[in-house]
Amino acid sequence: MVTQGGIDARTLRDMLGRGEGLTVVDVRKREEHERGSVPDAVNYDAYGALNAGDGRAMEGLELPLGARVVTVCNRGRAAAVAAEQLRKRGHDAVHLEGGMDAWRSSS
């Protein structure tokens, strides 16, 4: 289910399974991403900046204008901030509710 700004793990799995055109962006540290993430997720290590309240944390991420994006972190808080920043730049962005914790428990 997609809610205001968020998407649950089951819905994301279904969307990926159908091959819907979206980009998953893992905002965690590279080391965490390498230990496991959503399949084909792009790692953009903005975790520290997002948690520090940097309103420009996602500015270096290059995406096509209007891209459909799902942001991911461990529990969803930093990803929610990242999705908000991306929406302000014109992207159709939501975050994975519950983050990787929810993703792992949904399989």
Task: Please list the helix, strand and coil fractions of the chain in percent, rounded to the nearest 5, in that order.
Answer: 35, 20, 45
Residue 65 confidence (pLDDT) above 80: no
The arithmetic mean of pLDDT across residues 1-16, rounded, is: 84
Classify residue 95 as left (phi > 0), alpha (psi -120 to 50) or beta: beta
**Where exactly are the structural domains of the chain?**
2-105
From the options 3.30.365.10, 3.40.50.300, 3.90.180.10, 3.40.250.10, give the CATH code of 2-105: 3.40.250.10
Q: What is the pLDDT of residues 45-54, one digit of tens each?
A: 999 999 999 9
- Mean pLDDT for all residues in the chain: 93
